[in-house]
Amino acid sequence: MNPLFLDTSFLIDYLKGIPLTDHEVIISAVRQKIVYYNGIVLTELLSGARTPKNKKQIEKMLSGLTYLPIKYDDFKQAGNIRKSLFKKGFSMSTPDALVAAHVKKYKMKLITGDSFFIKAGDLLNFEVEIMLSG
């Protein structure tokens, strides 16, 4: 199984209790310690925490995942990703480009609730899966 990167949109929907299409895949990957997130995801999740209880739920959920620090070269790669996508007529935010940089660098599958990443994955050559039955 490829390592998984859990995007903010997926984690928000998960916290809301929206059922997963394949819950066991995520659980198995968490047990194998091959599920990742980065500072972009952390920032986005915490910025949406409306109560101390929400913040604790987020921290508890993330405690089972592996944090990937964003390094200087990741920022350079994100800039290159944005530039290459602009040339193809596709726009990507800097936070999403930083997520994409990690997914590409570590050859992970991006798990998201955001269909925007399907096209981005095709253009950037990385695997994307929408894993919510929503």
Supply the CATH number for residue 55's domain.
Answer: 3.40.50.1010
Query: Residue 38 is inside which H or E element, if any?
Result: strand 35-38
Work out how many domains the chain is built from and give that number. 1
How far apart CA 65 and CA 73 sit, in angstroms, is: 23
Cα–chain-centroid distance for residue 93?
A: 14
Q: What pLDDT is recorded for position 133?
A: 59
* Residue 109 identity: K
Which residues form the domain of 24? 4-130
Share of the chain above pLDDT 70, in %: 98
134 has pLDDT over 70: no
> Tens digits of per-residue pLDDT, 64-97?
999 999 999 999 999 999 999 999 999 999 999 9
Question: Do 88 and 123 contact (CB within 8 A), yes or no?
Answer: yes
Q: For 16-45, what is the mean pLDDT?
A: 90
3-state secondary structure of 51: coil
Cα–chain-centroid distance for residue 51?
A: 23
> Tens digits of per-residue pLDDT, 1-26?
789 999 999 999 889 888 777 778 88
